[in-house]
Amino acid sequence: MEFKKFKAATVQTAPVYLKVSATVDKAVNCIKEAHQNGATLIAFPEVFIAGYPYWNWIMTPVQGSTWYEKLYRNAVAIDDPEMQPLYQAAREFNMHIVIGINERGLSYGEIYNTNLIIDNQGTVIGRHRKLVPTWAEKLTWSSGDGSTLKVYDTAVGPLGTLACGENTNTLARFTLLSQGELVHIANYISLPVAPPDYDMAEAIKIRAAAHSFEGKLFTIVSCSTISQEIKDALRGDVPNIDALLDRKSSAFSGFIGPNGAVIGTPLIDEEGIVYADIDLSKCIQPKQMHDILGHYNRFDIFDLRVNIAPTRKITFVENNEKET
């Protein structure tokens, strides 16, 4: 049996706010840099293309409605021409990519918080739509369904992903673990407007460590930052924007090993790309103590059922009975 070894990269930076092509170009530059440093997997933040709806937290819903339209106008479909440079970069630089997008739904005005899984041939092999938008995010995104709660077989190993707060969802995480996940991508946004006693960076680390320790796997965390450009864009509607979005310890990006410990030095708030060497054979020994997918569980007692059918918005029924 082959135990894969590879170098992974994770990005902590801000998008070019509400500008799809410019953000894709920024992502391609990161991919090129990661390739030059020997990486074959790179993780990008939640909804990196092309930005997070911060207005939901700092404006009234009425004020934020014009920003919702701006976000929708900068939402993308997987096959949009603006997305093609990303897929070309995956092929050219032999890179597996997990990246967050604002995905246009089929209904006009509908947006999903989606993570794309792109293989090193430039093929979108999967997408995960965030199951439950968190708190104020419900003003923006539709909910995903169980059909995108999958683990993908890739050249770097069995790979799964969850976005931000759903990394606290025990059943969602177990669903990925039960499919053999060994590499987990958890991507986030910086959220300085959290309650005063909430350390966002520490909370991200705790969630990642919990998943790695419970499942005995590697977790790669990518978090966005808030740029001056983002603050300046929102300043006209929120004059005290700096006081709201300048809080420290709001972003964490890095790597967690199968023992739940941080690998290397993570990025806290600062922008950059960090790397780690991943050896999936390190997932074996910890399973002897706690294998919640095998000997350390009781499936005769516990029974988790997951509905993986896509949501059906309408069912047409035809009455074929003949009238007499």
Question: Is 164 designated active site?
Answer: yes
Residue with tokens 């930076």: 13
Residues 6+ apart with CB under 8 A from 158: 151, 152, 179, 180, 181, 182, 183
Distance CA 197, CA 182 (A): 33
> By the 8 A CB rule, do 245 and 220 touch?
no
Q: How many residues does the chain have?
A: 324
What does the H/E/C string look like for 147-159? Answer: HHCCCEEECCEEE
Distance CA 124, CA 119 (A): 7
> Which among 46, 103, 166, 181 is annotated as catalytic?
46
Question: Is 313 designated active site?
Answer: no
Tell how far CA 67 is from the center of its chain. Answer: 22
> By the 8 A CB rule, do 189 and 137 touch?
no
> Which among 26, 130, 150, 205 is annotated as catalytic?
130
> Which among 30, 103, 164, 166 is annotated as catalytic?
164
Report which residue type is found at 110.
Answer: E
Question: Is 103 designated active site?
Answer: no
Q: Which of 90, 86, 42, 92 is CA-nearest to residue 276? A: 42
* Through-space distance between the first and last CA atoms of the chain, rounded to whole angstroms: 68
The two tokens of residue 84 are: 């093609």
Residues catalogued as catalytic: 46, 130, 164
